Structure 1
Amino acid sequence: MRRVVLLLSVILAFSSPAFADIYVVKRGDSLYKIAKKFRTTVARIKRLNGLRSNVIRPGQRLIVPGRRYKPVKSRETIRFLERKSELTAASSAIKAGSEIYPITSIVYEEGEKLADALSTPLNVPYDNWNLSILEDPEYKSALLKILASLFKDLKNTPYVFGGGNPKRGLDCSSFTMYVYRKLGINLPRTARAQFNVGVPVKKEELKVGDLVFFRTYARFPSHVGIYIGNGKFVHFSSMFHGLAISSLDDRYFKKRYIGAKRVLSEKLVKKILYAWDKK
């Protein structure tokens, strides 16, 4: 499963738009040879893959700078947008502390700033790991609506360290594991293990559904939440004794933030939205 999860995301390494490919390391390969093959630098490959050393092994999958593709709006995209043209925000909200935060209203605030929905390149020979699909307000809103419904089911579940039963109590990592399992994705049990899946995402490039990690009671990643946009994330926090929405800019979390991982690709988002649309 880990091999599959490692393929579920990619980030943009520079400000200009780019896509990436997955390269499987062969015997005799080195980072220098791979960088030369893809006309890039060793530093960039290490940055894309979160590598701290030059050591690689045969069979290892690396993200490498890929070819650019012209976005093509497929018939499937058009049909999806037509089905979602009447999509309205979910009315559900989640209590965090003493305030009520309507989850799905976030996307509409951002969507109003977009003059035109972006064409989504679905019909191309690669899976879009940078999730440009979520730059389309219709897709982003649909995913937020699904997440809101899952969060709502847990609003009265208490925080229990080590808990794994939604009826009795959850902690931060069992919460993220539960939500993603509902989406058809299996995550490891602990925040520390979840930090080892997916691909690193820059803070300024976070998308809805990304996992955000913090060091709280330990040196290793010990707290995790799900990003929902506008600098906010949903998590199970001992601070609020249950489901909460917090800001990455809060002093406590800003000081302890250590990074984010993406475990959703465009193909998976499309699959999830299609499955939930059939329910």
Structure 2
Amino acid sequence: MKGKKQPDDRRNNMKRFCLVAAILLIFSAYAHADVTYKIKKGDTLSGVSKKFNVSAKEIRSLNNLKKSSKLKIGHTLIVKKAGPKTYTVKKGESINRIAKKFNIDAKELKDINLLDSDSLKPGQKLLLEAEPEIETAKINLEKEIENISESEEIAQMNAKDRVILFAKKFINIPYKFGGNSIMGIDCSAYVQRVYSLIGITIPRSARLQFKEGKIVDRDSLSIGDLVFFRTYASFPSHVGIYLGNDLFIHSSSKGKKVSIDSLKTPYYFKRFIGGKRFIIDNAEIEITKQLQEG
């Protein structure tokens, strides 16, 4: 039995090897192929450029089109030219030099690779374009936030419900120190962005945010309040948004993404320094008026 089984195993292993090799070859060919799009009825050059996040000028250049050229239904356009997806840093190279070499904006190159500084090491691998799934997620999230912001139904919600709705839309967005975009965002930029979506303007840094708003102690925290911590510095250096039940949402350098944590977690419990309130509900406004009149 063993003598018969071994050749079968070898044949099966060979089949699996050939299948994997074929898949890798197909994937390799696909990964380095031009990105194309077949024109449909009603398509415009500006519409196609927005769909693929490429300028209309670049599409015209890739397809030798003039400004006066009309799109023909069924015609296939090249929307992105195949090129290297990654680059290995050589000794003495800088972000600006590499960006210029591949005709990429230096800031965009840093954002794609979630870099906090311009310093690079020889042998370090850089992405030259965002992974398709990340780019798609970014575009979808931006569209979703835009649609929600313009919704009349959402506009009827109270500010606390809206701030939590928007805050949770950013869950799993990568953390990036100094970052201020969906490709990577830090704690203070995150709460600033969320608050801006409900029409409240607050400073950019946690340190300055802590200087504004109404002081709130731990026992009086309400949904939507900002919660502050001393982490790497003696001043307020981390901030999140209170969700109720001792939970808060923040862009976490520890978790490397926007996530929900508990104020009771020893790390945050020891470092909590207070809350600040920027969202004043109608009941609180009425009480304030009564106190002023009294």
The TM-score, its normalising length taken from structure 2, stands at 0.41
Higher relative contact order (CA 8 A, sep 6+): 1
- The structure that is helix-richer by fraction is 2
Larger radius of gyration: 2
